[in-house]
Amino acid sequence: MDSSSVFANIVRAPEDAILGVTVAYNKDSSPDKLNLGVGAYRTEEGKPLVLKVVRRAEQMLVNDNSRVKEYLPIVGLADFNKLSAKLIFGADSPAIQENRVTTVQCLSGTGSLRVGAEFLARHYHQLTIYIPNPTWGNHTKIFGLAGLSVKAYRYYDPATRGLDFQGLLEDLGAAPSGSIVLLHACAHNPTGVDPTIEQWEQIRQLMRSKGLLPFFDSAYQGFASGNLDADAGSVRMFVADGGECLAAQSYAKNMGLYGERVGALSIVCKTADVASRVESQVKLVIRPMYSNPPIHGASIVATILKDRDMYNEWTVELKAMADRIISMRQQLFDSLSARGTPGDWSHIIKQIGMFTFTGLNTKQVAFMTKEYHIYMTSDGRISMAGLSSRTVPHLTEAIHAAVTRVG
């Protein structure tokens, strides 16, 4: 055996920061361990959840003997694409009615962002994208590898644990005209801090006046407030002014289809002709990446969205998930207040969505992991979806100890 390997110089990559939390959690043998790392919904019993309506849709698909597994078109399942566009933009959206939207099925949110970014890197004139500070850990790598230059705009204010609106406006105001701007449609990850409607309107005006191109990441529609239309409000506000934008949608959380990798990239254009040319070029990005997207998850989504009863069933189950998270927020806040933990913890109930930016520092986080077996990302982000009434007291104790004993 030749001992000189062509791979001799390849070093071992570190574990992905976010997914690495679960890896560490799995290795822990403590019965008290709590995984508040990755953002996947858990029931009150701490179990993963497959929605009943998803099971029903799946059963229908598997039982349907007329179904085949032929390649989807490069842009994916047509029904799924139409229904996804309607879901995010609204069924009565003029942009859809005027055929100005191209929607292509992609691999969940990540895939939609990557395909959109690759398209922009090839066809757009301003190859800089501004992302909020902080943002989801994978954003920088997605855009960077696609060929975009990544810059940050101020977003989170640690002092208020809220939005640094002034900083946001200054930074976007200073961005070169035409720059791309990543916006979290709702339930900002990792902070849970969203702009108000007034703030969204001001952001919109500023961006339009500078010709900044919005690229929405919509991973929590319906999951944040419990209301699908409300959670799409920011996106619809931009589309309503007739301007262009991109939107990446994910069904990982709101339909619990995490592992099926279902999502969609929509590009809202000025005209139908532009939209059709844009779509043809997006196909050239997809074909050498994976040829065409996976059918299973998209079929489940289409089945549910096109059936009135199933759609309603979905909204009920979706609201139940959102409500449970909102209730966890309240319980944690009440528990910390009752415990008398020093500090203002109201951000827990002001923030929205799956995550809370606790404001705990890396030393405190490490302490909580070591002493209390609580797993979270080192930036102090906790997934509320991983909490239950039963585990709130344990988390409260841990936070209390961290805040009072660790600097």
| Catalytic site positions | 136, 217, 253
Phi–psi pair at 333, nearest 5 degrees: -60, -50
Q: Are 34 and 380 in contact (CB under 8 A)?
A: no
Q: Which of 34, 72, 129, 399 binds other proteins (CB under 8 A)?
A: 72
Cα 371 to Cα 259: distance, rounded to the nearest angstrom? 32
Interface segment toward other proteins; rule CB under 8 A; list 140-148, 336-344, 356-364, 382-390? 140-148
């035409």: which residue's tokens? 178
Interface with other proteins in residues 348-407 (CB under 8 A)? 350
Residue 152, beta-bridge partner list: 131
Interface with other proteins in residues 297-316 (CB under 8 A)? 297
Cα 276 to Cα 280: distance, rounded to the nearest angstrom? 6
Residue 78, beta-bridge partner list: none
Interface segment toward other proteins; rule CB under 8 A; list 199-207, 327-335, 339-347, 358-366? 199-207
């301007």: which residue's tokens? 243
Interface with other proteins in residues 17-36 (CB under 8 A)? 19
Nearer to other proteins, 297 or 359 (CB): 297
Q: What is the DSSP letter of 255?
A: S
Q: Which of 36, 37, 103, 114 binds other proteins (CB under 8 A)?
A: 114
The count of chain residues that interact with other proteins, using the rule CB under 8 A, is: 113
Cα 102 to Cα 63: distance, rounded to the nearest angstrom? 32
Closest distance of CB 48 from other proteins, Å: 4
Q: Is 9 in the site for other proteins (CB under 8 A)?
A: yes
Nearer to other proteins, 143 or 372 (CB): 143
Alpha-helical (H) ranges within 210-294 are: 228-231, 233-240, 272-290
Amino acid residing at 256: G
Nearer to other proteins, 196 or 404 (CB): 196
Nearer to other proteins, 61 or 366 (CB): 61
To the nearest 5 percent, what fractions of the chain are helix, strand and coil? 50, 15, 40
Pattern of binders to other proteins over 327-346, x per CB under 8 A? --------------------
Q: Smallest Cα–Cα separation from 106: which of 281, 311, 290, 314?
A: 290
Closest distance of CB 179 from other proteins, Å: 11
Cα 171 to Cα 148: distance, rounded to the nearest angstrom? 18
Closest distance of CB 343 from other proteins, Å: 20
Q: Which residues contact 10 (CB under 8 A, 6 or more apart)?
A: none
Closest distance of CB 210 from other proteins, Å: 6
Nearer to other proteins, 241 or 309 (CB): 241
Q: Is 94 in the site for other proteins (CB under 8 A)?
A: yes
Handedness of CA 148, 189, 38, 161 (dihedral sign): positive
Pattern of binders to other proteins over 144-173, x per CB under 8 A? xx--------------------x--xx--x
Q: Which of 30, 43, 59, 346 binds other proteins (CB under 8 A)?
A: 59
Q: Is 185 in the site for other proteins (CB under 8 A)?
A: no
Nearer to other proteins, 149 or 361 (CB): 149
Q: Which of 6, 29, 159, 370 binds other proteins (CB under 8 A)?
A: 6
- Measured in Å, how far apart are the chain's first and last C-alpha atoms? 55
Token pair, residue 290, equals: 């994976």
**C-alpha distances out from residue 164 to 181, 246, 350, 380, Å:** 16, 24, 15, 18
Cα 129 to Cα 139: distance, rounded to the nearest angstrom? 10
Nearer to other proteins, 94 or 342 (CB): 94
Interface segment toward other proteins; rule CB under 8 A; list 198-206, 308-316, 332-340, 361-369? 198-206
Interface with other proteins in residues 256-295 (CB under 8 A)? 256-261, 267, 269-271, 274, 276-278, 280-281, 283-285, 287-295
Interface segment toward other proteins; rule CB under 8 A; list 60-68, 340-348, 373-381, 393-401? 60-68
H or E element at residue 377: none
- Residue 35 three-state SS: strand
Nearer to other proteins, 96 or 360 (CB): 96
Closest distance of CB 221 from other proteins, Å: 11
Q: Are 200 and 234 in contact (CB under 8 A)?
A: yes
